[in-house]
Structure 1
Amino acid sequence: MVATEFIDFLNKLHVPDYIGVEDFADKLSFLYSVLVLMLCTTIVTVKQYLMSAIACYIPTVPSGSDFDKFLENFCWVHGTIPLLSNELIPQTMDEWAYFDDKYRINYYQWVPFMLGLQCMLFYIPRIVWQLICCNRTGTDIEHLVVVAHQASNAAPADRSKLVSHVTASLKGMLYQHREYRHGRVLEAKKRLFDACGLLVVSKRLGTWLAFTYFVIKLLYLTNSVGQLYLMQRFLGFNATLTNFGAKLADYMLSGRNWEQTRIFPRISFCYFADLRQLGSTNRYVAQCVLPVNMLNEKLYIFLWYWTAMVAILTAFSIPLWLMRLTFAKSRVRFIKKFLRINEQFHRSDKQLVKDFTENFLHHDGIFILRMISMNAGDVITSEVVSELWKGFYAEHNSTEPVGPEPSAPLPLADHNEDKALEKNHMARSRKSFV
């Protein structure tokens, strides 16, 4: 029932059709991981608060009809002590105090809240990136990507309008960020940019958006790796057990259960040190069953592998984007591909294409076109690049001299000699006529 409702929820959100200024690794973090954690939170919450999460037994039950409920609530709040199969039950208060201090577990009551916290942590980088895309770039970049995707499925008449809208918005952003000032400081800044590239963060130089995206990538990676450590510490595992998910799976496949590992115990003990009745203090030992830990074990094994996969894919995506944006040849090759699709690239335009890529689009323009290509396809991207190229080409050629240059006027001496020759020629013509 929960799974059916969750699938209906996904269909309403149009998760498979989501379009945004993110690649697949980003979507794994802020979209799919959040949905997976929401599902896990729902399952654990239903099991924990609507069904039986703990059941405790005590041989000698004191008088009172509500003692069983009190016992279970006390053990749930205080925590329980798991004992291995070869360990004897403590007999004295000091022994119970030692086991209680060293082995008591009390994470299971906090599992839904921890899963909710993990869900929010996965989404925080997305919120930061949304604020940047909508408010700090001069235009709504996500809107451009969404409109480009709509153009890929639109009728020809609407398609042309949508492509023109994307092109005009992108061109306006690029012109808005152009550098119109001059001076020694700017020259030094450009020389530094030529040497360091993306490390020089500037909207005018076209590196601010691309650099910010790398910062968001690092946030996603830090979050994934940090959540692996967070799960380990929350469950109370040994600090050296960094790959606890793999260890748990190995224990489960090899038949080593909780009685040998003390990990996610199903049966544990609860010690009452001070239960006051009629002025006297009594001590009780209860044996408790934790069916919720069967669910927690499977969920955390899955979440460990899932989070590790997200961290690995995010780590691989960072150098991939570095290759796409930091190498000039890669940027120029990317633009040439779309110009060739529209048969607009000629060998004589090599330098002009390079100037178009480096001095007009910059890193930020290439980044946006990359995102349009990932979400809307190469055909729409080629049309956007074609429109941008036509405008740039026309603007560039308008500064060039059109037609042959006018010939220079003849020197004055040469001009007088030509007139004298013309007069002599006319005089000879009259004599011959006579």
Structure 2
Amino acid sequence: MLDVFRGLKNLIKVSHIHIDSPIFRLHYSITVMILIAFSLIVTTRQYVGNPIDCVHTKDIPEDVLNTYCWIHSTYTIKSAFKKKAGVLVPYPGVDNSKGKLDDRKCYGYYQWVCFCLFFQAILFYTPRWLWKHWEGGKIHALMMDLDIGICSEVEKKQKKKLLLDYLWENLRYHNWWCYRYYLCELLSFGNVIGQMFLMNRFFDGAFLTFGIDVVSFMESDQEERIDPMIFIFPRMTKCTFYKYGVSGEVERHDAVCILPLNVVNEKIYIFLWFWFLILGVLTLGVVLYRIVIILSPRMRVYLLRIRFRLIRRDAIDAIVRRSKMGDWFLFYMLGENIDAIIFRDVMHELAARLGHHKTDLQDA
């Protein structure tokens, strides 16, 4: 089992260079690892067992019936979920289907679960791929190993001057770079919401309220409600197989099928329901946070003061007042990666340059 997931550990390795927010990292790291792990689980027969086992007659080979029912889907009788199992029906959803074509609920999604999970993982990683491409290694290039802070004074002074010169010469030119990151965060939020609706379509409109239904069912009398996990992920279903008899007439064979894989599927999707809900709420908070930052320069000053307490308040006020939104984002990311003392010195010198430049303009 460990061999199957050993390769996934690379997905949760977060680089020591931070170019995004912790919530954004949850999308492309933890969530992608979870989805790929689930996809591997449902495709690894030795840990789950046969995906389907049907009760068969001697007239039909076991492998043929199992393969047929897996490919052509199975069904349950919706009204049978309300009947008492073991008394009126052998199992919830399993009943005489004669004359009940409109009462059938077909299940064919289980063939696509592993592919759907892998596709979801790709969608979650897409915003990260876009930002990594757009960011272009800017933060790493500007760091120049200043995150270590242990180097000769000559080297440190030279690197600080290079960083300061870049910030001075490119001040007010980082908006487009910054807004592309904000777009990626917005895409991540849209992806979570979109995937909830995607899975709702995947399960015939039963996924959006799946978690609420499960919690409500656990708190109520089981005899009065349909178990939503069994309704969406039945463990026992029916399958109809047709073949020619010895006389050349078409014979119908009804089979009862056990779906062991659904025991795993129900646990996977109840977890994903709550995980996507939490992730969506956190990402919505980040999107609202970005909107406030864009609209409020005062909030940018406050955040820099809270995060980087070594920098003088007057320096932060001068820098935010003379720069734009993109510059603020670059400063924040650099402060997250560079040694605190070195970052303080750079910001103080940048504020001093801005002050001198303003004085020169006034004198002119």
Task: Sort the TM-score into its range (normalised by shorter chain).
Answer: 0.7 to 0.9
Q: Do the aligned partners of 1:152 and 1:159 also contact (CA within 8 Å) in 2? A: no
The one-letter amino acid paired with 1:89 is D
> 1:270 and 2:239 equivalent?
yes
Q: Which residue of 1 aligns with 2:95?
A: 89
Structure 2 gaps of 5+ residues are: 84-88
> 1:222 and 2:190 equivalent?
yes
Question: Which one of the candidate residues 145, 148, 152 is aligned to 2:147?
Answer: 152
Alignment of 1:30-109 (within 5 A): 30-47=28-45, 51-58=49-56, 60-62=57-59, 67-83=61-77, 84=80, 86=83, 89-90=95-96, 92=98, 94-95=99-100, 97-99=101-103, 102-109=104-111
Question: Which one of the candidate residues 140, 143, 147 is aligned to 1:143?
Answer: 140
Question: Which one of the candidate residues 321, 335, 338 is aligned to 1:358?
Answer: 321
Q: Which residue of 2 aligns with 1:6?
A: 5
Q: Do the aligned partners of 1:266 and 1:290 also contact (CA within 8 Å) in 2? A: yes
Q: CA deviation at 1:89?
A: 2.7
Alignment of 1:197-276 (within 5 A): 207-238=175-206, 242-251=208-217, 256=222, 258=227, 262-272=231-241, 274-276=242-244
Q: How many residues align?
A: 346
Q: Do the aligned partners of 1:21 and 1:141 also contact (CA within 8 Å) in 2? A: no
2-structure distance, mates of 1:325, 1:122: 25
2-structure distance, mates of 1:318, 1:23: 11
Question: Which one of the candidate residues 296, 304, 307 is aligned to 1:327?
Answer: 296
Q: Secondary structure at the match of 2:257?
A: strand
Q: CA deviation at 1:366?
A: 0.3
Question: Which one of the candidate residues 243, 253, 261 is aligned to 1:292?
Answer: 261
Q: 1:104 to 1:48 in 2, by over 3 A?
A: farther
Q: Which residue of 2 aligns with 1:415?
A: none
1-structure distance, mates of 2:229, 2:267: 17
CA RMSD of aligned residues (A): 3.5
- Residues 170-192 of structure 1: CA deviation (Å, up to 9, x unaligned): 444337x3xxxxxxxxxxxxxxx
Q: Secondary structure at the match of 2:107?
A: coil
TM-score by length of 1: 0.69
The one-letter amino acid paired with 2:320 is T
Q: Do the aligned partners of 2:12 and 2:30 also contact (CA within 8 Å) in 1? A: no
Q: Do the aligned partners of 2:38 and 2:268 also contact (CA within 8 Å) in 1? A: yes
Q: Do the aligned partners of 1:335 and 1:357 also contact (CA within 8 Å) in 2? A: no
Q: CA deviation at 1:15?
A: 1.7
Q: Do the aligned partners of 1:144 and 1:166 also contact (CA within 8 Å) in 2? A: no
Question: Which one of the candidate residues 357, 370, 375 is aligned to 2:332?
Answer: 370
> 1:302 and 2:271 equivalent?
yes
Q: Do the aligned partners of 1:118 and 1:227 also contact (CA within 8 Å) in 2? A: yes
Q: Which residue of 2 aligns with 1:408?
A: none
Q: Secondary structure at the match of 1:269?
A: strand
Q: Which residue of 2 aligns with 1:417?
A: none
2-structure distance, mates of 1:46, 1:141: 41
Q: Secondary structure at the match of 1:301?
A: helix
Structure 1 gaps of 5+ residues are: 135-139, 178-205, 403-434
The one-letter amino acid paired with 2:38 is C
Q: CA deviation at 1:168?
A: 4.0
Q: Do the aligned partners of 1:79 and 1:104 also contact (CA within 8 Å) in 2? A: yes
1-structure distance, mates of 2:227, 2:305: 60
Q: CA deviation at 1:277?
A: 4.6
Q: 1:399 to 1:236 in 2, by over 3 A?
A: closer
